[in-house]
Structures are given as C-alpha cells and as structure tokens.
Amino acid sequence: MNPKPVQLRTPLGDEILALHAGDHVELSGTVYTARDEAHLRMQQEGIPFEPRGAAIYHCGPVIQDKRVIAAGPTTSARMNELSDFLIGRGVRALIGKGGMGSRVRDQLKDRGIYLAFTGGCAALASSHMTLTGVFFEDLGMAEAVWVIGLDRLPLVVGIDSHENDLFDTVSRHAQEAFRRYRGL
Amino acid sequence: MQISDPARIRSALADATFRAYREAVIRLPPDVLRVIGQAAAAETNPVARGEFANILKNIAQAEKLGVPICQDTGVPVVYLTLPPEISLTRELYDAVADGVRKATREVPLRPNVVDPITRHNSGDNIGAGMPAIHIKPGERFTVTVFPKGAGAENVSRIGMLLPSQADQIERFVVETVCLAGSRPCPPVVIGVGIGGTFDGAAALAKEALLQPLDRMTEYERGIMGAANRLGIGPMGLGGDITVLAVKVKTAGCHTASLPVAVNIQCWANRHAMAWVKL
C-alpha cells in the first residue's frame, strides 16, 4: 500500500521543497481558484490576497447558495504562460489537472510545486471544501477567484521543486512505447 | 393505433429527457462501474492506485449528495426509439429541448452550449442542432441521454484509411490515445467506428460507447492491450490502465474506402435511458 500522505497546510513554506514527484499529500488551509480570466485580471490589477505561501487551484466551480457544489480541476496547461507573476510573488503551489509546461517547471525550481487532483472528481472535491469568500465576482461563476477552505484534499505531487515532472516523464515513455509498437 | 396528442407526447418526452439527464450526470451505469472497479483492483502503480481511489470515492459522493459526478456536465447527445404508434414530428425535438432546459435549471447543469463562431452562450444548453438528436424505430418509446464532456471529445479523431490498411486500424487507435495523453482524463473508454461514410463512422464510434463495456470481443481486447502498453495511466500520471474498454461498431463501406473514427470518452462514461410514460 501507499505510504501515508504528507500533511500540508497553508501558508506553505520550505517544507514543500522536501517533496518529490509522485508523493501523495493532503492539503488543508486555504486555496484561491483561478482560471484564464482571473490570471489576466490579477496581472492588471494586482493579486487581491497575500500571495506568499499561497496555493492556487485551477478550477471553475459550481457555487449555489454560498456553497461549493462541484469543484473538479480544469486543464492547467492553459495557464502555462500566465503563472510567472504568481510564483514570482511567493505562491508556492499550483493545483490542477494534466500538468504544466517546461516554463512552469523551471519557475517552480527551488520555489514551489505543482499538485495534481483527479480530473472529474468534482463531488469528492466539494466534500473537502468550505466557501469563505470571493474576489472578482463580476468575471462570472467559472472565472471568479473563490476563496475556499480545504480539509485534507487528497493530491499527488506532479512537478516537484527539483525539476522532476511526472507528466513529462510519462509522456516521453508513452511516445517511446509507441515508436517501439510501430517497429521503429 | 397511432397516438396523436401532441401536448401529451411533448410533456411526457420532456419529463423522460429530464429524468434521464439527471440520472446520467449523477450515477454511472452498472457496466461502467464494473470496469472501473476491476481496473482499480488490477492497477499496480501506487500513484495510479491513488487516482482510482479518488475516482471511486467521487462516484460514491456524487450519488450520496445527488450532485453531478463532474462539473463538466457536457453537451446533450440524445437517442430516441419510437414504437410504431408514435409519429416522427417536430414536437419530439421541441420536447427534448424542453427536458434539457429543465435539467439545466434544476439538476443543475453547467450551461456549456455556445455559438461556434461568436462563442455566445445560450445559457440553457440549447443551440442550432443542439441537443443532437438521433431517432430510430424500436419496440418501446425511450430516450437515452448521453452527456459528452469536452476534454475527451476534443482528442477524438477520424481517419480515411486505405482499403489495404485494415491491419492498421489498431495502430490508428493507439496513436490517438498516445496523442491524447493526459488531456481526456484517462482512464478512458474508446468507441471505434469502422466503415460506413466519413460522417457515419463518427456516429458509429459514439454509439459504440453506449454498448456494454464488460463484454468485449478478442479484437477489442487486442486494441485495449496495445493502448495500455503506452503506460499513460490515470490522468497521465503513469500506470497499467489507460483504457477501461474498447467498443467497436462497423458498417458496410465503399470498396475504395476505409473510414475509421475514434471517439474518446473520459472514465465517467455517463449515459441513462428512461421510458417515455404516455
């Protein structure tokens, strides 16, 4: 069986530098949701929360009556070119699905981590969440920055702070396997 | 005897569409649950086992709370069977649209349907030609709702192979899985349409996804095995199981053609059928 997941709590500090790609963690504390539009707005108007030690969740949740109904991850790669300023200002963890590009991997070196949450698991996510606030609500439900309290959300380290990228490794292996399959 | 009471047919079909939609987005069909359970038990990679654990917990939570399995509640793809006493009329299309609007408000569903060029969102999951409705004759009056999410649909492919390339169909499917990588939320289900016409092959591939996943032919198992050797694993994090099932549907085609369509579906192969109660 898997070893016990590492417990993490925001604000995150240098404890994340000890993690490795493939480690299971459970995250508690606060996350801020942000998709494409929220990233653009924060670049223009500034980050409306304390970025040092913060965790960003790539997610467009369904919110009803001030409750989180469904909050699975969205595809993180869309934010590949939009994440520099967050990591530069002290954000320590990005959370989403599918992994991110080499540019983000470079930025995370010695600074932060990318955590993967299982795609499609919207009901499981919401059962670990409490809604505590919102910024930029005018962007609409999917694009606003929702402030969400987390209680032990189960995640896996996809990219660590030592340039190990599980998604990239798996993708290279798959391409090699396909070449072998084709007899090349 | 023909039943010709348009108002009654419209409200009964709208209600059945609503019921099937709600069921589809909250609970997975038994055959889908069985293949996910078997895959979770067979997986040996520790990271992949964690992903399967989350998927199984998520399925249980969605049912317990009565909320959608995934926030991408898809676009409405709908199949009707009409018994001899029901005529094919415009009202049937309007009735399905009524049911989709109600499901969007009450389940609730995410409004996903937009104009393809202006990207304007209709807000109620209705658009030109959407819901996509497919009608066939049958014994009973039924509606099957098959909500299709974008992540997996976007990595689907069609190829017009040469008639001499029948032995390369498997390779085309495996290549599609390789190119898709983590994007369709694997482990995936694969519908393969072989033959027919350019458009017909794609329709066959989608219909194949509705067939029981826990009964596969040797041919289908062979394709699944080849794709699983890529090692992409759940969510592209690596593992033994990238593909939960492969289902193939074929149709006669031109002697000079070999259309092959691959419709990819995420692990949440959501669909549900309801009787239309008249």
Which of B215, B216, B223 is closest to B264 using CA atoms? B223
Q: Is the pLDDT of residue B57 over 50?
A: yes
Q: Which residue of chain A is at minimal alpha-carbon distance from B187?
A: A119
A25-59 pLDDT tens trace: 999 999 999 999 999 999 999 999 999 999 999 99
Determine, for residues B175 and A72 on separate chains, whether the beta-carbon distance falls below 8 Å. no
Chain B contact present for A146, CB below 8 A: no
The tally of domains found in chain A comes to 1
**Eight-state DSSP code of residue B187:** S
Classify residue B109: in a domain, yes or no: yes
Apex B46 CA angle, B45 and B49, nearest 5? 85
Determine, for residues B235 and A98 on separate chains, whether the beta-carbon distance falls below 8 Å. yes
Compute φ and ψ for B121, nearest 5 degrees: -90, 125
**Residue of B54, B71, B229 lying closest to A70 (CB–CB):** B71
Determine, for residues B67 and A123 on separate chains, whether the beta-carbon distance falls below 8 Å. yes
Determine, for residues A118 and B58 on separate chains, whether the beta-carbon distance falls below 8 Å. yes
Chain B contact present for A164, CB below 8 A: no
Mean pLDDT estimate for chain B: 96
Task: Mark whether B169 and B240 lie in a shared domain.
Answer: yes
Task: Mark whether B135 and B208 lie in a shared domain.
Answer: no
- The residues, any chain, with a CB within 8 Å of residue A44's CB and separated by 6 or more, are none
Classify residue B259: in a domain, yes or no: yes
Task: Mark whether B139 and B78 lie in a shared domain.
Answer: yes
pLDDT at A63: 87
pLDDT at B149: 93
Task: Mark whether B169 and B117 lie in a shared domain.
Answer: no
Chain B contact present for A151, CB below 8 A: no
Q: Is the pLDDT of residue B170 over 90?
A: yes
Percent of chain A with pLDDT over 70: 99
- CATH number reported for the structural domain that contains residue A73 in this entry: 3.20.130.10
Task: Mark whether B123 and B188 lie in a shared domain.
Answer: no
3-state SS, residue B239 = coil
Nearest-angstrom CA–CA distance, B190 and B227? 10
Classify residue B274: in a domain, yes or no: no
Our CA-based measurement puts residue A14 at a distance from the nearest CA of chain B, in whole angstroms, of 23
pLDDT at B3: 79
Classify residue A1: in a domain, yes or no: no
Q: Please, are residues B47 and B237 in contact by the beta-carbon 8 Å criterion?
A: yes
Domain end (from B82, B117, B147): B147
Task: Mark whether B96 and B17 lie in a shared domain.
Answer: yes
Nearest-angstrom CA–CA distance, B152 and B194? 19
Nearest-angstrom CA–CA distance, A39 and A53? 17
Q: How many CA atoms lie within 13 A of B277 on its CB side?
A: 6
pLDDT at A140: 87
Determine, for residues B68 and A175 on separate chains, whether the beta-carbon distance falls below 8 Å. no
Chain B contact present for A171, CB below 8 A: yes
Nearest-angstrom CA–CA distance, A117 and A71? 11
B15-46 pLDDT tens trace: 999 999 999 999 999 999 999 999 999 999 99
How many inter-chain contacts (A to B, CB under 8 Å) are there? Answer: 134
Nearest-angstrom CA–CA distance, A166 and B138? 49
Task: Mark whether B155 and B139 lie in a shared domain.
Answer: no
**Residue of A70, A98, A126 lying closest to B182 (CB–CB):** A98
Chain B contact present for A170, CB below 8 A: yes
B193-232 pLDDT tens trace: 999 999 999 999 999 999 999 999 999 999 999 999 999 9
B60-100 pLDDT tens trace: 999 999 999 998 999 999 999 999 999 999 999 999 999 99
The tally of domains found in chain B comes to 2
3-state SS, residue B206 = helix
Our CA-based measurement puts residue A104 at a distance from the nearest CA of chain B, in whole angstroms, of 17
Pull the structure tokens for residue B44.
Answer: 């040996």
Q: Please, are residues B125 and B147 in contact by the beta-carbon 8 Å criterion?
A: no
In one-letter notation, the amino acid at residue A84 is: D
pLDDT band at A1 (very low <50, low <70, confident <90, very high): very low
Chain B contact present for A80, CB below 8 A: no
Chain A contact present for B67, CB below 8 A: yes
Residue, of B243 and B4, whose pLDDT is higher: B243
- Residues found in chain B: 278
**Residue of A120, A169, A174 lying closest to B178 (CB–CB):** A174
Classify residue A29: in a domain, yes or no: yes
Determine, for residues B70 and A70 on separate chains, whether the beta-carbon distance falls below 8 Å. yes
**Interface residue of A118, A156, A165, A166 to substitute, partner B, most B CBs within 10 Å:** A118
Structural domain containing residue A72: 6-181
Q: Please, are residues B174 and A181 in contact by the beta-carbon 8 Å criterion?
A: yes
Query: Cα B144 to chain center, whole Å?
Result: 11
Q: Please, are residues B260 and B192 in contact by the beta-carbon 8 Å criterion?
A: yes
Classify residue B48: in a domain, yes or no: no
pLDDT at A72: 93
Pairing mode, strands A62-64 and A24-33: unpaired
Q: Which residue of chain A is at minimal alpha-carbon distance from B46?
A: A2
Chain A contact present for B40, CB below 8 A: no
Our CA-based measurement puts residue A110 at a distance from the nearest CA of chain B, in whole angstroms, of 22
Q: Give the residue numbers of A marked as catalytic.
A: 39
Task: Mark whether B16 and B143 lie in a shared domain.
Answer: yes
Task: Mark whether B113 and B176 lie in a shared domain.
Answer: no
pLDDT at B2: 81
pTM of the prediction?
0.95
User: Where are the alpha helices (H) located in A46-132, listed in sequence order?
Assistant: 84-88, 102-108, 122-126
pLDDT at B268: 97
Task: Mark whether B23 and B122 lie in a shared domain.
Answer: yes
Classify residue B195: in a domain, yes or no: yes
Determine, for residues A154 and B70 on separate chains, whether the beta-carbon distance falls below 8 Å. no
Nearest-angstrom CA–CA distance, B249 and B193? 5
Classify residue A57: in a domain, yes or no: yes
Task: Mark whether B21 and B124 lie in a shared domain.
Answer: yes
Task: Mark whether B255 and B222 lie in a shared domain.
Answer: yes
A105-157 pLDDT tens trace: 999 999 999 999 999 999 999 999 999 999 999 998 888 999 999 999 999 99
Classify residue B174: in a domain, yes or no: yes
3-state SS, residue B40 = helix
Chain B segment 184-223 residues within 8 A of A by beta carbon are 185
Q: Which residue of chain B is at minimal alpha-carbon distance from A73?
A: B71
Bond preceding residue A73 cis, omega within 30 of 0 = no
Nearest-angstrom CA–CA distance, B210 and B32? 10
Our CA-based measurement puts residue B12 at a distance from the nearest CA of chain A, in whole angstroms, of 29
Structural domain containing residue B129: 6-27+69-147
Q: How far is CA A156 from CA A96, A167, B144, B202, B230, in A?
A: 10, 11, 36, 36, 21
Determine, for residues A120 and B268 on separate chains, whether the beta-carbon distance falls below 8 Å. yes
What residues pair up with A74 in beta bridges, in sequence order? none
Chain A contact present for B229, CB below 8 A: yes
Classify residue A82: in a domain, yes or no: yes
Burial of A30 (0-12, 13-18, 19+ CB in 10 A): buried
Q: Which residue of chain A is at minimal alpha-carbon distance from B63?
A: A123
Classify residue B42: in a domain, yes or no: no
Angle between helices B90-106 and B6-26 (to 10 degrees): 40
Q: Is the pLDDT of residue A2 over 80?
A: no
Which residues of chain B lie closer than 8 angstroms to A118, CB-CB?
Answer: 51, 54-55, 58, 234-235
Apex B38 CA angle, B37 and B43, nearest 5? 100
Classify residue B35: in a domain, yes or no: no
Nearest-angstrom CA–CA distance, B194 and B260? 5
Nearest-angstrom CA–CA distance, B58 and B45? 20
Domain end (from B130, B147, B164): B147
Nearest-angstrom CA–CA distance, A13 and A91? 10
Q: Is the pLDDT of residue B4 over 80?
A: no
Nearest-angstrom CA–CA distance, A105 and A165? 7
Q: Is the pLDDT of residue B270 over 70?
A: yes
Our CA-based measurement puts residue A46 at a distance from the nearest CA of chain B, in whole angstroms, of 28
Domain end (from B131, B147, B163): B147
